[in-house]
Structure 1
Amino acid sequence: MDIDSRPAPTQYGFRLRRALGGQSGWSGFVLQIMFVAALAWIGYEIVANARSNLAAQRIASGFGFLSNTAGFGVSQSLIPYSESDTYTRVFFVGLVNTLVVSAIGIFFATLIGFAVGLGRLSPNWLLARIAGGYVELLRNLPLLFQILFWYLAVLAALPNPRQSISLWNSFFLSNRGFGVPKPIGAAGLEPFAIAVVVAVMGAALWRSHARRQLFQSGRLIKVWPVAFGLLVGLPVVALVAFGKPVTFEYPELKGFNFSGGSRVIPEFVALTLALSTYTAAFIAEIVRAGVQSVHKGQMEAGASLGLSRGNTLRLIVVPQALRVILPPLTNQYLNLTKNSSLAVAIVYPDLFSVFAGTTLSQTGQAIEIIAITMGVYLAISLITSAIMSFYGWRISRSLSA
């Protein structure tokens, strides 16, 4: 057969569909209907089996248990809570604790990860080896082991409250936690807060203006003098004009523990340290790979413009590397949030511990509680992914502009 006389590639697809009987569209539709019907039947059987098991154990289904009194205490509550509150309140206490430890863990993991990742690329031999040792050590040890290490080997070895480590007689570190002064709002709080918000927004706008001038005209504008003046000057003016924004209640040793002030419990510290340092080891490798994906000519171009190595990385290389860094970085943020459920090992009252643990054991509403917990973790993950996707879109648009 001559090459020129062969049918076009599209004709092969047409002949293949005809060879399959000419009803391939209907066959595919029927198969899809059968697949959906099979899924519906499996779902019905699961629900029916669960309802029969609950009825056999005389456990009422539904979410009415959320309005019942919890009757147990929580070691850390960032919102008002007492034992007479309902299980709904317990849910929000655990949710807030989970969000707080995840947010703080993400913040410190990002800082440590970027610092270690850039340190691995440092021309300083010792710094690069220390950063490499950090990565290899932390990422190869199980996270649960690291949580227990911080909790049992480090924090539990601290002195008791009577022999606590004191700093300026205001901060106290012991095996019961970290006692700090508790801020109490005063008359000047609202003006001071407004001044801080305005200062932060002004500093951000000035930084954006300086970056725009640098990329458009090559003019280098120092950001820190104006930013420092705004961030310090405006709050000081508000402080002088309206008085103190807060007063402090200091912790005092009474008996075998401290009263007054605020206390950061050891469980929170151990979990935050473990999540931050463990996740930072993976973020460091992501940052290193992202920076190395940028052509080395970018560093040479920055040096030819008279920029220091740090400014070249900050202004030229890292913004380009973010397109490579952001997708795996998002995965690490999601992993950190989900790994916070390991707090149950040290009895930190997060969502999984107090709601999917204590509440489930008291009420027996396993299906409802597990469904709520799964939905919450799914929602947190989707929101985090959406935020990071939006940030990545902004980065891509600014680089392509």
Structure 2
Amino acid sequence: MAISTRGPGNLAPQAPRRSLINDPNVRAIFFQILVLGGVVLLGWYLVSNVLENLARQNIATGFSFLDREASFAIGEAMIPYSPASSYSQALLVGFLNTIKVAVLGIILATVLGTIIGIARLSSNFLVAKLASIYVEVIRNVPVLLQLFFWYAVISESLPQPRQALNPIPGVFLSNRGMKFPSLADDPIWTWVGLALVAAMVGVWLLARWARKRQEATGQQFPVVFASIGLLLALPLLTWVVGGAPTALDVPVLQGFNFRGGITISPEFAALLMGLVIYTAGFIAEIVRSGIRAVNWGQTEAASALGLHRGEVLRLVVLPQALRIIVPPTTSQYLNLTKNSSLAVAIGYPDLVSVANTTLNQTGQAIEAVSIMMAVYLTISLGISLFMNWYNTRIALVER
């Protein structure tokens, strides 16, 4: 039988019992609960205080005002709207106008910024310096001042509608905007649009199939030419089957303005130009730095394989630079979208402008501001999610 050699003085030391207050994990949870409780109490106090003040001043709360008649006109609308429409319809018009500016602005700013960023790296001294001057000037002038500048240029440099410039038959330029012919109403155009959407889906499926085919067999498929053919052929075939209508709605001067056709207003043009030119200056620097970050050995290796400069940039450098370019470019997309709220300064009826009018007429300040905040938050989160997905898709896969 084993005999213990430990005497009363040789007992194994025991770890000291630690109280809950000394446990770092418990303390961390306690302080988080304490902070959360403080935030909840502060929020409850602010909300109750606001509701009490509104009730004291007999100001109604809630969103029931959205069903009431708006009773104000909106200069530009992508959907049917009149002063007899509801406030919710008016806010929807403002939301769509904001989306239109944001989408077009992001596309054009990306193209322009990429071109200028590449131009800054040009071996041509004049091209590189002009691109540098553009970046330095545009980035250091506040975007609001640029919007005022472009609005003044467009509205002051163009004549009245009766003296409108007519550079191309059916196209008129005046201080009321640019008017050009549009397609006359016909049910076939809806089907042509659906055919175009179907062609886009087909292009996406074709690109996936071609990529998998190349990975399996090493053979390339002419995706670009096939995609162009599909995008042109399917809508064109739908148009021919539908009777091939060619009627146009040509703008005509009636009184002091033009009627018919499509209008690009001075406010929209100034806002789009200002946002695109301003944001492109920042994107240009992101593109330049992204290209610079690609190891020079990649360019040398591609040149040694016989690729010319354009192919080296398109096939070797830019795909690698995208991994660096995408994250900061996402911030610029978000900035462009949020900067579109400055449209109220030049009279373009975006969401902020329409919501301000709604606020002034109804007095529902909290609700109107909450709607604006929720919309911009949703748009920003949507852009971030898409760009994060794209960034993950092009990221290098570790093995």
The TM tier, using the shorter chain, reads: 0.7 to 0.9
Matches within 5 A, 1:346-385: 346-355=346-355, 357-385=356-384
Opposite residue 380 of structure 1, the aligned amino acid is I
Q: Is the 8 A contact 2:21 2:27 kept in 1?
A: no
- Quote the offset at 1:137 in angstroms: 1.1
Q: What residue is the counterpart of 1:249 in the other structure?
A: 249
Q: What residue is the counterpart of 2:323 in the other structure?
A: 323
Alignment root-mean-square deviation, CA: 2.7
Q: Is the 8 A contact 1:66 1:86 kept in 2?
A: yes
Could you give the per-residue CA deviations for residues 150-200 of structure 1, whole angstroms, max 9, x where no partner exists? Answer: 101333321111111113321111100111223234354355445544554
Q: What residue is the counterpart of 1:5 in the other structure?
A: none
Q: What residue is the counterpart of 2:392 in the other structure?
A: 393
- Greater alpha carbon shift after TM alignment, 336-345 vs 307-316: 307-316
Q: Is the 8 A contact 2:20 2:26 kept in 1?
A: no
Matches within 5 A, 1:46-85: 46-85=46-85
Partners of 1:289 and 1:256 in 2: CA distance: 51
Partners of 2:87 and 2:49 in 1: CA distance: 26
Q: Is the 8 A contact 2:154 2:266 kept in 1?
A: no
Could you give the per-residue CA deviations for residues 330-377 of structure 1, whole angstroms, max 9, x where no partner exists? Answer: 00000000000000101111001111x111111111111111111111
- Greater alpha carbon shift after TM alignment, 29-38 vs 287-296: 29-38
- Greater alpha carbon shift after TM alignment, 143-152 vs 215-224: 215-224
- From the CA coordinates, give the structure whose radius of gyration is larger: 2
Matches within 5 A, 1:162-201: 162-186=162-186, 188-189=188-189, 192-193=192-193, 195-197=195-197, 199-201=199-201
Distance of aligned partners of 1:185 and 1:297 in 2 relative to their CA distance in 1, 3 Å threshold = farther
Distance of aligned partners of 1:203 and 1:125 in 2 relative to their CA distance in 1, 3 Å threshold = farther
Q: What residue is the counterpart of 1:293 in the other structure?
A: 293
Distance of aligned partners of 1:120 and 1:212 in 2 relative to their CA distance in 1, 3 Å threshold = farther
Q: Is the 8 A contact 1:192 1:245 kept in 2?
A: no
- Greater alpha carbon shift after TM alignment, 67-76 vs 160-169: 160-169
Normalising to structure 1: TM-score of the pair?
0.87
Could you give the per-residue CA deviations for residues 110-162 of structure 1, whole angstroms, max 9, x where no partner exists? Answer: 01011111111112221111111111111111000000001013333211111
Q: What residue is the counterpart of 2:311 in the other structure?
A: 311
Partners of 1:223 and 1:124 in 2: CA distance: 33
Partners of 1:110 and 1:237 in 2: CA distance: 32
Opposite residue 390 of structure 2, the aligned amino acid is Y
Task: Kindly indicate whether residue 91 of structure 2 is the aligned counterpart of residue 94 of structure 1.
Answer: no
* Corresponding residue pairs, total: 385
Opposite residue 307 of structure 2, the aligned amino acid is L
SS at 2:247 equivalent: strand
Distance of aligned partners of 1:19 and 1:350 in 2 relative to their CA distance in 1, 3 Å threshold = same
- Quote the offset at 1:205 in angstroms: 5.5
Distance of aligned partners of 1:192 and 1:364 in 2 relative to their CA distance in 1, 3 Å threshold = closer
Distance of aligned partners of 1:222 and 1:64 in 2 relative to their CA distance in 1, 3 Å threshold = closer
Could you give the per-residue CA deviations for residues 37-66 of structure 1, whole angstroms, max 9, x where no partner exists? Answer: 211221122112211221232211111111
Task: Kindly indicate whether residue 265 of structure 2 is the aligned counterpart of residue 265 of structure 1.
Answer: yes
Partners of 1:216 and 1:165 in 2: CA distance: 58
Identical counterparts, % of pairs: 45
Distance of aligned partners of 1:362 and 1:141 in 2 relative to their CA distance in 1, 3 Å threshold = same
Normalising to structure 2: TM-score of the pair?
0.88
Distance of aligned partners of 1:298 and 1:256 in 2 relative to their CA distance in 1, 3 Å threshold = same
| Structure 1 residues not aligned, in runs of 5+ | 1-13
SS at 1:83 equivalent: coil
Could you give the per-residue CA deviations for residues 377-397 of structure 1, whole angstroms, max 9, x where no partner exists? Answer: 111111110011111111126
- Greater alpha carbon shift after TM alignment, 338-347 vs 362-371: 362-371
Distance of aligned partners of 1:143 and 1:203 in 2 relative to their CA distance in 1, 3 Å threshold = same
SS at 1:62 equivalent: coil
Partners of 1:23 and 1:210 in 2: CA distance: 59
Partners of 1:305 and 1:216 in 2: CA distance: 23
Q: What residue is the counterpart of 1:276 in the other structure?
A: 276
Distance of aligned partners of 1:287 and 1:162 in 2 relative to their CA distance in 1, 3 Å threshold = same
Distance of aligned partners of 1:192 and 1:368 in 2 relative to their CA distance in 1, 3 Å threshold = closer
Opposite residue 284 of structure 1, the aligned amino acid is A
Distance of aligned partners of 1:400 and 1:174 in 2 relative to their CA distance in 1, 3 Å threshold = farther
- Quote the offset at 1:324 in angstroms: 0.8
Partners of 2:207 and 2:310 in 1: CA distance: 17
Distance of aligned partners of 1:129 and 1:372 in 2 relative to their CA distance in 1, 3 Å threshold = same
Opposite residue 105 of structure 1, the aligned amino acid is G
Partners of 2:154 and 2:134 in 1: CA distance: 18
Could you give the per-residue CA deviations for residues 196-224 of structure 1, whole angstroms, max 9, x where no partner exists? Answer: 44554555566666777788887676555
| Structure 2 residues not aligned, in runs of 5+ | 1-14
SS at 2:122 equivalent: coil
Q: What residue is the counterpart of 1:342 in the other structure?
A: 342
Q: What residue is the counterpart of 2:133 in the other structure?
A: 133
Q: What residue is the counterpart of 1:27 in the other structure?
A: 27
Distance of aligned partners of 1:185 and 1:245 in 2 relative to their CA distance in 1, 3 Å threshold = farther
Q: Is the 8 A contact 1:54 1:60 kept in 2?
A: yes
- Greater alpha carbon shift after TM alignment, 49-58 vs 95-104: 49-58
Matches within 5 A, 1:9-48: 22-48=22-48
Partners of 1:194 and 1:49 in 2: CA distance: 52
Opposite residue 388 of structure 1, the aligned amino acid is M
Distance of aligned partners of 1:323 and 1:121 in 2 relative to their CA distance in 1, 3 Å threshold = same
SS at 1:172 equivalent: strand
Q: What residue is the counterpart of 1:10 in the other structure?
A: none
